[in-house]
Amino acid sequence: MAWFIWAVFASLCAAALAESNRIFKLNAQMLNAWRSTIALLMMMVAIPYMDWPETRDFYIVAAIDGVVTAIGMIMFFYMAARKTGRVSSMVLPMAAFAAYMMWWMMRPLERPDLMEQPFQVVLAVLSFMLVCFSFQKVRDNDASWDSFLMVLPVGISFGVVDAMTKSVLEGDNSTYHVALSYTFVTMVACTIASWMAAIPTPLGGRPTGFWNGKLLWGSFWCGVWTVGMMLAGVLSLSIAPNPALPGLIMALTPLWLFALNYYRNTEDNISIPASILIMAGSAGLLLSTL
């Protein structure tokens, strides 16, 4: 159950991060670069508490995770500019599905047996389908085929990386100290990739501003939520029975934003029935692992 708590905490941080982006309305690429940098500086405080595995795969996967995360952030900003929020929301269920299938390929002996555990298998499949279907109905936004093809590789990459992360964080590496070092390496790679995307070029189209008070203040808070989201996500992946489960719990993120908007009497076009079905599907997935 600990993985579930960490996944919920990660989704809360993801909601806070999304709300921060909406409030500060800063340049997407510079905000992405600065919040990664500030998150990295925050992680440096925990260096004395980190353990460093000797396996090379650990660092390779962490670096890949950071680069994929940076690319995903930039893609989300681009999709938001095109007002294709519903398409970007497809990333979570696609990532969960990719992680589920990748994990089965990596760990064939852990595949559930329909004959021996029919209830768990059927419940997991139905719950997964319910979450994937409901998540697309949360908001009524554009979902063009071209946009879907654009975000498809991002979702698959996230899922594959989640499965790989779970693999390198098993056994002796499934500790808080190792999770700290994994997150730190991920943030190093994410920061480097983010700054490479933000550096101005003669071709134009990239931001030229470097910093100002509002940018740094907004980046600070985004950095705080980034650390919480990424570290909690890694901790959840390290102890979850399947790497797809934490990603599906992250589907609760829109619900936290809806609750905040409801409290502030702010209009939100989220679908209540779809949100309830997401919670039911998530609960079913949780029960299928017991």
Q: What is the pLDDT of residues 172-218, one digit of tens each?
A: 777 899 999 999 999 999 999 999 888 765 444 555 566 778 888 98
pLDDT at residue 113, rounded to an integer: 59
CA separation for the pair 210, 31 (Å, rounded) = 10
**pLDDT for res 48:** 95
Q: What is the pLDDT of residue 142?
A: 46
65-75: per-residue pLDDT in tens? Answer: 999 999 887 77
CA separation for the pair 128, 124 (Å, rounded): 6
Residue 76 has pLDDT above 80, yes or no: no
Per-residue model confidence (pLDDT) at position 116: 64
Residue 207 structural domain: 2-288
Angle, CA of 227, 219 and 254, to the nearest 5°: 65
Helix (H, G, I), strand (E, B) or coil at 191: helix
Number of compact structural domains in the chain = 1
Of the ranges 28-37, 57-66, 78-87, the best mean pLDDT one: 57-66
pLDDT category at 282 given cuts 50, 70, 90 is low
More confident of the two residues 83 and 192: 192
Lowest mean pLDDT among 44-58, 72-86, 182-196, 261-275: 72-86
Q: Give the per-residue pLDDT at 99.
A: 81
> Burial level of 57, CB count in 10 A (0-12/13-18/19+)?
exposed
Cα-atom radius of gyration of the chain, to the nearest Å?
19
